Amino acid sequence: DAGVTQSPTHLIKTRGQQVTLRCSPKSGHDTVSWYQQALGQGPQFIFQYYEEEERQRGNFPDRFSGHQFPNYSSELNVNALLLGDSALYLCASSSPGGLQETQYFGPGTRLLVL
């Protein structure tokens, strides 16, 4: 039973470029959440996708956008990269649990913006 997978594992970009990160949820899960983890900090919620729609969004600018596909996999896109976007980007998947939902995390994509 595969867990949450993410690609690529590492990425180096320059300021102003655009990046796309990918996530496949755990088998049986249909909800995907994205988090940004800066060095030395806890993860911060970016947004969550369910039924191919953005269901909830954290305090991130419109440069951060996403997509969910019919097979429940998801992409995170970041436009006009800034140095401060350098971080570990985590994907978490879950199945709808009403008020009791547990999120399971992937290994992350480490993005370095130069």
Summarize as ranges the residues that interact with other proteins (CB under 8 A): 31, 33, 35, 40-45, 48, 55-56, 58, 90, 92, 94, 99-108
Q: Which is nearer to other proteins, 4 or 78 (CB)?
A: 4
Count of Cβ atoms closer than 10 Å to residue 43 Cβ = 18
Residues 6+ apart with CB under 8 A from 47: 33, 34, 54, 55, 56, 57, 58, 60, 64, 66
Taking the complex as a whole, how short is the minimal distance between the CB of residue 37 and other proteins, in angstroms?
8
Q: Which is nearer to other proteins, 25 or 43 (CB)?
A: 43
